Amino acid sequence: MMKVECTRLPSGLTVVTEQMPHLESVALGVWIKSGSRNETLGEHGIAHLLEHMAFKGTARRTARQIAEEIENVGGEVNAATSTETTSYYARVLKDHVPLAVDILADILTESVFDEEELRREKHVILQEIGAADDTPDDVVFDRFAETAYRNQTVGRPILGTPDTVMSFSADQIRQYLGRNYTTDRMFVVAAGAVEHDAFVRQVEERFSSLPRTPLATPVLEAARYTGGESRETRDLMDAQVLLGFEGKAYHARDFYCSQILANILGGGMSSRLFQEVREHRGLCYSVYAFHWGFSDTGIFGVHAATGGENLPELMPVIVDELRKSSMNIEQQEIERARAQIRAQLLMGQESPAARAGQIARQMMLYGRPIPNEELMERLSGITIERLTDLAGRLFFDTTPTLSAIGPLEQLAPMNDILSSLTGKATVPHAVAS
């Protein structure tokens, strides 16, 4: 029987475990309620740079020693930066949990940010930015977020720009660290063959030097959805197109309803968009819908990848499917979406890494682990009437966001798309290149 246990240390740090007794390994990590959105205007990309620099040497270990010590026991360690969170995580056999805790604590409390390592890592990130710019399906999502939340940190690319990345000093990284990596914003989570009390003792001993209060007030600018369009014509084989709308924040009443609606419209091979756009009409090789939630906002979108010659027919079909969802949804579609979400939850429990990440997200968002039964109960209250009402508000009451890259000569003007959605045309702020 799997059991979630939670302990809040006197320092303010929260430790959560889920014992999975049939396993021989443990997935563990530190999740910080801070990401690229917590950067100041002049810190674009510094959250991601910090994540890289954490592995580049501490007072006790060189960068090579960090890598070798974890891999000497067959383990792995990595990190990730998102808009609102950053995570540092490891996977090891159960006997090596103390080593993993020690390494994670070391990189988060004793990193030295050596100038030579910083210089090298900046160039590594420049290559990462270049690779992203060469990948159209990455670019179209970056432009999508920038357009939906124009001139705001929540819409900025996580990697930063070459100019901002090259400008950062070790002191600036320390300032961001001191402002955001405090015990009230950090959660240490483990899932797998872990014993809670022993893990708590290890964490309490090794993370005792973490600051309880920030050096300066953390930054979090309230999000303002703007919408608009961004087009970039490139000589590519395919066009990448994203059409989006203002969605719902994690705590909003319609958050789970939005997840179900995204699943019905474009959550799999049986979804409306896949069946109509790809299977029936053959207008693209990829089409799906998604809903991103943030702490105070959200965004609902449809992504399609197709040849430029299909755009004149593709966009009206997508818009028509959105319109139909505001008029009619079948109970069978709701049940299918619920079944898919339930399966994802249960399958996630078979992976200690997935489970640790899920628990960490729940702790950051809701302050407690959410049982699967409670999640399914929230989904059970979603009705046809709620979904059609939500679709009407999402697709007709907010300014759309359009992001497109590739051969766009035949992509309809934004006014035409807007007219087909709302019956009236206005000209949102546009960027084209």
Across the chain, mean pLDDT equals: 93
Query: What fold is seen in the domain 3-206?
Result: Cytochrome Bc1 Complex; Chain A, domain 1 (3.30.830)
Q: Which CATH class is domain 228-432?
A: alpha beta
Q: Which long-range contacts (CB under 8 A, 24 or more apart) does 321-324 make?
A: 321/265, 321/272, 321/273, 321/276, 321/277, 322/265, 322/391, 322/395, 322/421, 323/395, 323/421, 324/272
224 near 149, Cβ under 8 Å?
yes
Percent of the chain whose predicted confidence (pLDDT) is above 90: 86
Q: 3-206 and 228-432: same fold?
A: yes
Angle at which helix 384-396 crosses helix 255-266, to 10 degrees, equals: 90
Helix (H, G, I), strand (E, B) or coil at 288: strand
So where are the chain's domains? 3-206, 228-432
Q: Which residues pair with 305 in a beta bridge?
A: 240, 286
Burial of 163 (C-beta count, 10 Å sphere; 0-12/13-18/19+): exposed
Q: Which residues pair with 16 in a beta bridge?
A: 6, 189
Burial of 1 (C-beta count, 10 Å sphere; 0-12/13-18/19+): exposed
**Mean pLDDT split into 10-residue runs, the chain, 433 residues:** 88 96 96 96 96 97 97 98 97 98 97 97 97 95 97 96 97 96 97 97 96 84 94 95 96 94 96 96 96 96 96 94 95 95 88 96 93 87 95 91 97 86 50 50
Let me know if 51 is a catalytic residue. yes
pLDDT for the residue 348: 85
Q: What is the dihedral of CA 328, 331, 333, 334, to 10 degrees?
A: 110
CA distance 26 to 350: 12
The continuous run of DSSP H or E covering 335 comes out as helix 331-348
273 near 347, Cβ under 8 Å?
no
Q: Which residues pair with 191 in a beta bridge?
A: 18, 27
* Residue 161 phi, psi (nearest 5): -120, 160
Helix (H, G, I), strand (E, B) or coil at 387: helix
Task: Kindly report the number of other CB atoms within 10 A of residue 156's CB atom.
Answer: 22
Q: Among residues 18, 39, 43, 51, which one is catalytic? A: 51
pLDDT for the residue 1: 52
- Tell me which residue of 177, 188, 191, 179 sits closest to 13, measured CA to CA: 188
Q: For residue range 18-27, list pLDDT tens digits in order.
A: 999 899 999 9
Helices (H), 209-310: 255-266, 272-273
CA distance 37 to 219: 8
